[in-house]
Amino acid sequence: MTRVYYKDAVGCLVVFDVTRASTFEAVTKWKSDLDNKIQLPNGSRLPCVLLANKVFSIRKSFLFVYFLIIQCDLVNDGFDGNNEQMDEFCQKQGFAKWFETSAKENINIETSIQYLISEVRLDKFLFYRNSCLLFL
């Protein structure tokens, strides 16, 4: 995307569909694009939160189709639900945090957005605080 789309952004949600591996593979491309095209006024990266969407739908599917061994295809097709690996991935890629969500069932949507808002507020506070110090 061009820089114009990111103009004046102060935070970011990157969403991938846990049922489609290609959307998870695109996460690093989106994050890299963001980091290369936009910075906060203090030069730091934009706070970004990663959302793993449809997680709860998959877990329900596991219950219904467990004996049909379909869950193996779902796990191998992208997100495997390993919290430690996701934490490491987010740290490596520069995401502030990640959340398992379901937009359809409205699970963790508000929580993840509130977290992003708190990160944006923290960044703004530090920016203005540092600016004041520079001008003293």
DSSP string, 22-33: HHHHHHHHHHHH
CA distance 60 to 48: 28
The residue-averaged pLDDT of 6-14 equals 85
For the CA atoms of 50, 51, 52, 53, the dihedral, rounded to the nearest 10 degrees, stands at -160
Supply the pLDDT for residue 82: 76
What 3-state DSSP class applies to 13? strand
Kindly indicate the confidence band of residue 63, based on its pLDDT and cuts at 50, 70 and 90: very low
pLDDT in tens, 74-129: 333 445 557 888 999 999 999 999 999 998 889 999 999 999 989 888 766 555 44
Which H or E run contains 12? Answer: strand 12-17
Percent of the chain with pLDDT over 70: 71
Q: Across the chain, what does the average pLDDT equal?
A: 76
Q: Please, are residues 129 and 66 in contact by the beta-carbon 8 Å criterion?
A: no
At residue 6, the pLDDT reads 80
CATH of the domain at 99: 3.40.50.300
Work out how many domains the chain is built from and give that number.
1
pLDDT for residue 71: 36
Structural domain that includes position 91? 3-135
